[in-house]
Amino acid sequence: MLDLHQRKQEIIGKIARKAFEQPLLRSGLLFEHDIRDNFYYASYLFVGSLDEQLTIFIDADSAKTKAESLLMKVLELQDQNPISSTYGHWPLHLRPTPQEAPINTLPVELMGSLMVYFYERYRHVFSEPLRVSFEIALLHIYRSDFYRKPLEHYHHHEAKYTATKLILGQFYQDQKLLEDGYQSLCLTLERITAMGMSEYGGLPWFWHWVQAFTCAWELTEHAEIKTALAQMLDYLWHVRSTYYLQGAWVGAHSRGWPHDIPQDKNVLFDYVQFGDFTLPEDMPRTEYAGFLSYEAPALARSTALNRAIPVEVKRLIPPPAALAEYGKDCLHSYVYITENYAIGGVWERALEFDNEQHRWDVTLPITAVEGVNRAFFFHPGKWYAEGDLRHQSEFSEVLFHPNVVVARYQIPAEQPDEIIGCLPQGEWIEEPQALYGRCGNVFMAVYVQQPYRREVLADRSVIKSSGRTNAIILACTDIVNAQTRGIIDLNQFADAMRQQQPIYAQSGEVGQALTYTTLQGEKIAFMIDEVGNITRFVNGKEIDFNDYTVS
């Protein structure tokens, strides 16, 4: 296995070659969808042009010339008008043309600190025009003051502001700014270690925390600050390792982008840190994974890489800081993790930013199957768009237990009554109200209360089922455990799981709403009272959240 440094070099080489081979657009840039990708690819190409091993595959002089041209074009798009409301910022999307594109506050949040890093590391080999352009752009970033904000939310934006305070405070010898950054760092660290992160599983924003604080850690010259940054990064990698399964992020997500749900693709920082999967061709988020690195603590790495013994992870998720004063309760996150799959999610529905909460799923390692590595169902809510399997409604109740998740849907008359599911590629047996499948090393049984239809796509199956009252039971076991029960193939698994059919209550019936007996002989149930309140039981005992702890 390659070591951490070698994996970084592999990423640099791969992206540098892509940047070298990709033709320029009419604008002279590589991308129009996001200015940051131009900066990232140009950075990799520039560094690749300096590496003798990589210049076997690319012409060094041509690569450096192209990289410098790209970097200059990016820097030229900064708003450098001191009286402008967007002073110091860049456009994000570059249409209709880069010069006409609206200025956006997002690019500089992350890209600004990385520009300081890139300048500090490589200015000695910059051309004179590029060096001057960087110095001018960085000064405008510093003077823009976008990062001079007090802590309020303790979210990814403020994490980046804090890192920027530390980086620019040192770079411009601004002692007051440096002290502000250090205080913000200590307060943030104190809060999240005591309460946990409200942005649970939020991708790609978690990586912005890691990226920003790693950048600050690599640049700082102050021992006390470096120690605090190391403590922050140790905590972040502890969180990441808790929910890690061979490149996948298991469990619930407060937010996610289409390249993270239903398939984990934002994996470069994982690859550098853990290296237990093959570097994929598709890299939708290159950012600075090939440059920045902080080796996780040994315990965190051991947690991530040793999944032979299944574990239940039960965590309290704090409300966003801005809501805490209103007495909002913590959420409860549950996930059961094995070496071949994980299953779980968050018990409570929460209206997260852009309604992006991903409530539950079964997650496979990213190399277990071709295509998507998640199995889940949901009722579409606000902002749902066909083909984008996010934006869930609030009309569901869930129950989690090792190897199984139950989701019950009671959909009001004014809402569309269709639930949607996503299943990984594999060998599947379809029956009127069930599917039995083998995906990689995992057998899955999917019970659907109402009739369904299945559409097989290139990288997944999409399931749709209609009915005001509906339910999904998704149960898993891996091949090794199945063999201990005499189950050798999918047909035998289907035969066994046909005997485990759930029992559904009749519409409007009080008492038993749904019961299911697992392959392990445990009985789980939803019970409903006269006014429609739901209570959840396992083996006759109501679910108890007293053993949920802070991450």
pLDDT in tens, 120-168: 999 999 999 999 999 999 999 999 999 999 999 999 999 999 999 999 9
Cα distances from 399 to residues 251, 341, 524, in angstroms, run 13, 18, 8
Phi (first) and psi of residue 4, to 5 degrees = -60, -45
Q: Is 305 left (phi over 0), alpha (psi -120 to 50) or beta?
A: alpha
- pLDDT tens digits, one per residue of 477-508: 999 999 999 999 999 999 999 999 999 986 55
- pTM for the whole thing? 0.96
How do residues 320-341 score in pLDDT, each as one tens digit?
A: 886 554 346 899 999 999 999 9
Residue with tokens 């149960």: 475
DSSP per-residue string spanning 102-132:
PEESHHHHHHHHHHHHHHHHHGGGS-HHHHH
Q: Indicate the pairing of strand 311-317 with strand 549-550.
A: parallel
Distance CA 540, CA 66 (A): 67
Q: What is the model's pLDDT at position 509?
A: 62
Q: Is 190 exposed, middle or buried (0-12, 13-18, 19+ CB in 10 A)?
A: exposed
> pLDDT for 420-454, tens place per residue?
999 999 999 999 999 999 999 999 999 999 999 99
pLDDT at 507: 59
Q: What is the mean pLDDT of residues 521-526?
A: 95
Average pLDDT over the chain, rounded to an integer: 95
